[in-house]
């Protein structure tokens, strides 16, 4: 979506077709685990504004089954997409198919076990909550799982969250933040079970699901949401001559092949900043990479390299967690404002003496104002001092 909007904004006046396997008009995903479940928003409230009034041909509910890159377009680029019995010729292609939620193996037949990725997933869960379910089991204490848990608690549902690691979000945000997040969820009545997995899920005779947990306990849940990560949606690209390895592997300008770019969750590209191939699943990245991919299509190889600072937020209970740049257990960290005890804290992260991240819990001002220093990579000491002075 953002690539299409950027193409038009940057002066591309040629034909532009958007194909999507889903039948819905483009919608914003963050509310799916929050406002849509709490009932504050309905499906009609979350339309993607950047899609409004865009001069494109929509082909919604049209999964693409294959790509033939035959070089029939200008400069040996281009090819055609196969979507059902239709073929669509292109000169340039933006791959932005995102990712699909991972499922627990062997649970496809269980009607009360689902994921939360699409509008249909969210509406199904909301309908279940509306119908008065009493217990929800969430498998995986990642961002989606924790947001779903918080929203369901707000609706008065009993929530059990199981997580195989020792802290929620610990791998991404470090154990201090993870421990804080765990406390906050427990304070809001979430039954959070760490270092615990699901051994089996079976349909219960009385309806719902019986879950056997790795700690030996058995719980009954009316509904189960599995939030154990995603898998880039690249199956349709098999045989297209692209490098597929945990996403569409691109160069530093998001180019995957002549006339082919990738953006969003599906794109994996070498980030100079991170010093490795990265794939980012954040909302802000969908915009930034979409716009960069569009520029790459229009500008060709002279396009700027793509190397932004990642940014995300997550709202859970009364916590707004935001991170610009990088955090994690392997980095130096320093509290620069507030404290975990007062539920309002900003933490600076450094690597090799350089500021690489700023995390805020209910501290949006610090995260926003330090974004520039994180982007330019000031020294960790200077970054800590600057953040303390805010």
Partner 1 sequence: MRVVVDFDVCESNAVCMAIAPEVFEVRDDDFLYVLLDEPPEELRDKVEEAVRRCPKQAIRIED
- Indicate the helix (H) or strand (E) that contains 106: none
362 part of the interface to partner 1, by CB under 8 A: yes
Q: At its nearest, how many Å lie between partner 1 and the CB of residue 81?
A: 27
Q: Which residue has the tokens 């421990």?
A: 179
- The total number of residues shown for the chain amounts to 390
Q: At its nearest, how many Å lie between partner 1 and the CB of residue 371?
A: 4
Nearest-angstrom CA–CA distance, 278 and 271: 6
148 part of the interface to partner 1, by CB under 8 A: no
Q: Which is nearer to partner 1, 72 or 362 (CB)?
A: 362
Nearest-angstrom CA–CA distance, 89 and 255: 19
Supply φ then ψ for residue 142, to 5 degrees.
-90, -170
Q: What is the 3-state secondary structure (H, E, C) of 197-233?
A: CEEEEEECCCCCEEEEECCCCEEEECEEEECCCEEEC
Which residue in 367, 378, 386, 387 binds partner 1 (CB under 8 A)? 367
Of 187-195, 230-238, 316-324, 381-389, the window that binds partner 1 (rule: CB under 8 A) is: 316-324
Q: Which is nearer to partner 1, 32 or 287 (CB)?
A: 287
Which residue in 103, 188, 320, 388 binds partner 1 (CB under 8 A)? 320
Structure tokens at 64: 């693409």
Measure Cα distances from 340 to 123, 336, 345, 358, 363 in Å: 34, 11, 6, 15, 11
Q: Which is nearer to partner 1, 38 or 72 (CB)?
A: 38
Nearest-angstrom CA–CA distance, 231 and 265: 9
365 part of the interface to partner 1, by CB under 8 A: yes
154 part of the interface to partner 1, by CB under 8 A: no
Pick out residues in 252-311 that bind partner 1 (CB under 8 A): 283-284, 287, 311
CB 336 within 8 A of CB 348: yes
Structure tokens at 238: 């098999």
Which residue in 22, 369, 379, 388 binds partner 1 (CB under 8 A)? 369
Q: Which is nearer to partner 1, 199 or 376 (CB)?
A: 376
Residues 6+ apart with CB under 8 A from 266: 95, 96, 97, 98, 99, 232, 233, 234, 247, 248, 279
Measure Cα distances from 349 to 200, 313, 329 in Å: 39, 17, 10
30 part of the interface to partner 1, by CB under 8 A: yes
Q: At its nearest, how many Å lie between partner 1 and the CB of residue 362?
A: 7
Structure tokens at 191: 């039954």
Q: At its nearest, how many Å lie between partner 1 and the CB of residue 326?
A: 17
Of 122-130, 233-241, 245-253, 367-375, the window that binds partner 1 (rule: CB under 8 A) is: 367-375
10 part of the interface to partner 1, by CB under 8 A: no
Applying CB under 8 A, the site for partner 1 has a residue count of 23
Q: Which is nearer to partner 1, 243 or 390 (CB)?
A: 390
Of 112-120, 197-205, 220-228, 315-323, the window that binds partner 1 (rule: CB under 8 A) is: 315-323
Which residue in 103, 155, 273, 371 binds partner 1 (CB under 8 A)? 371
Binding site for partner 1 (CB under 8 A): 2, 5, 28, 30, 49-50, 283-284, 287, 311, 313, 315, 320, 322, 324, 362, 364-365, 367-369, 371-372
């Amino acid at each position: 979506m953002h690539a299409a909007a950027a193409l038009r904004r940057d002066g591309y006046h040629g034909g532009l077709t958007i194909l999507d396997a889903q039948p819905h008009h483009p919608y914003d995903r963050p509310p799916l685990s929050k406002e849509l479940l709490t009932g504050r928003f309905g499906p009609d409230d979350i339309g993607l504004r950047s899609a409004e009034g865009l001069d494109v041909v929509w082909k919604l509910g049209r999964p693409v089954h294959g790509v033939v890159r035959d070089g029939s377009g200008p400069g040996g680029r281009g090819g055609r997409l196969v979507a059902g019995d239709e073929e669509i010729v292109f000169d340039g292609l933006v791959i932005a198919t995102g990712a699909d939620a991972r499922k627990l193996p062997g649970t496809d037949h269980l009607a009360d076990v689902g994921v939360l990725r699409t509008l249909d997933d969210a509406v199904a869960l909301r309908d279940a909550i509306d119908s008065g379910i009493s217990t929800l089991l969430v498998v995986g204490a990642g961002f989606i799982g924790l947001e779903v848990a918080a929203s369901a608690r707000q609706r008065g549902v009993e929530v059990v969250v199981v997580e195989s690691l020792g802290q929620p979000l610990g791998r991404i945000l470090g154990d201090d933040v993870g421990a804080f997040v765990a406390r906050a969820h427990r304070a809001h009545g979430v039954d959070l079970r760490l270092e615990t997995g699901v051994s089996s899920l079976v349909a219960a005779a009385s309806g719902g699901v019986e879950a056997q947990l790795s700690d030996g306990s058995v719980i009954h849940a009316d509904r189960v949401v599995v939030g154990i990560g995603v898998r880039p949606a690249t199956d349709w690209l098999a045989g297209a001559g692209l490098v597929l390895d945990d996403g569409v592997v691109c160069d530093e300008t998001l180019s995957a092949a002549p006339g082919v770019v990738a953006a969003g969750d599906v794109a994996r590209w070498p980030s100079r900043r991170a010093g490795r191939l990265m794939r980012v699943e954040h909302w802000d990245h969908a915009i930034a990479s979409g716009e960069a991919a569009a520029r790459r299509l229009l500008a060709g190889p002279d396009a700027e390299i793509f190397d932004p600072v990642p940014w995300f937020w997550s709202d859970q209970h009364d916590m707004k967690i935001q991170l610009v740049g990088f955090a994690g257990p392997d980095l130096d960290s320093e509290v620069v404002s507030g404290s975990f005890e007062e539920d309002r804290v900003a933490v600076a992260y450094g690597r090799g003496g350089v500021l690489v991240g700023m995390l805020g819990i209910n501290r949006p001002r610090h995260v926003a104002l330090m974004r520039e220093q994180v982007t330019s990579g000031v020294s960790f000491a200077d970054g800590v001092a600057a953040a303390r002075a805010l």
